[in-house]
Structure 1
Amino acid sequence: MAAQPEGTPVWADAMFTDLEGAKSFYGEVLGWTFGESSTEHGNYTQAFRDGKAVAAIVPPPPGHGEARSTWVLYLASPDVRATAERIRAAGGTLLLEPMQVGAFGSMAVATDPGGVLFGVWQGGEHTGFELRDVPGSYGWAEVFTRDPDAANTFFPQVFSYGVRKLVDEKVEYRLFTVGGREVLGSMAMTPEVPAQVPSFISIYFIVENCDAAVERVAKAGGQLVFGPMTSPFGRFASFVDPQGAAFSLIDPGAAEGEPPSTVEVS
Structure 2
Amino acid sequence: MITRTQPWPAGTPCWGDLMVPDRGKAVTFYESLLGWTVESGGPETGYYGMARIGGRPVAGIGQIPPEQAGMPPRWTTYLAVSDADKTAAAIAEAGGQVIAPPTDVLTEGRMAIATDPAGATFGLWQPGRHSGTQATLTPGAPAWNECMTRDFAAAKQFYGDVFGYGFGDMSGPGFTYATLDVDGRPVGGLGELSADSPASPGWVTYFWTADADQSAARIPELGGTVVSPPTDTPHGRMAIAVDDQGAGFSLMAPNTQSGTQDGWG
TM range (shorter): over 0.9
Distance 1:31 1:167, change over 3 A: same
Contact map agreement 2:171 2:178 (CA 8 A) in 1: no
Q: State the one-letter code of the partner of 2:126.
A: Q
Structure 1: distance between partners of 2:41 and 2:72: 20
Q: State the one-letter code of the partner of 1:168.
A: G
1:246 match: 248
Q: Describe the superposition over 1:55-101 as per-residue Cα deviations: whole angstroms up to 9, x where unpaired.
A: 01111123222421010000000111111111011100001001111
2:216 match: 214
Contact map agreement 1:233 1:255 (CA 8 A) in 2: no
Q: Describe the superposition over 1:210-241 as per-residue Cα deviations: whole angstroms up to 9, x where unpaired.
A: 00010111111111111311011000000111
1:264 match: none
Instruction: Measure how far apart 1:206 and its partner are.
Output: 0.2
Give 1:93-108 correspondences, 5 Å limit. 93-108=97-112
- What is the count of residue pairs matched by the alignment? 255
TM-score, normalised to structure 1, is 0.92
2:160 match: 156
RMSD of Structure 2 on Structure 1 (CA): 1.5
Q: Residue 230 of structure 2: which of 221, 228, 231 is its match?
A: 228
Contact map agreement 2:150 2:195 (CA 8 A) in 1: no
Unmatched runs of 5 consecutive residues or more in structure 2 = 260-265
Unmatched runs of 5 consecutive residues or more in structure 1 = 259-266
Contact map agreement 1:112 1:150 (CA 8 A) in 2: no
Match status 1:200 vs 2:167: no
Q: State the one-letter code of the partner of 1:48.
A: R
Distance 1:257 1:127, change over 3 A: closer
TM-score, normalised to structure 2, is 0.92
Contact map agreement 1:17 1:66 (CA 8 A) in 2: no
1:256 match: 257
Q: State the one-letter code of the partner of 2:240.
A: S
2:262 match: none
Instruction: Measure how far apart 1:132 and its partner are.
Output: 1.7
Q: Describe the superposition over 1:111-166 as per-residue Cα deviations: whole angstroms up to 9, x where unpaired.
A: 00000110000000000012123111101011111222221111111100011111
Give 1:57-96 correspondences, 5 Å limit. 57-96=61-100
Structure 1: distance between partners of 2:195 and 2:47: 38
1:51 match: 55
1:262 match: none
Structure 1 residue runs of 4 or more that deviate by more than 6 Å after TM superposition: none
Q: State the one-letter code of the partner of 1:246.
A: G
Q: Describe the superposition over 1:182-216 as per-residue Cα deviations: whole angstroms up to 9, x where unpaired.
A: 0111111124432xx42111110000000001011
Instruction: Measure how far apart 1:167 and its partner are.
Output: 4.8
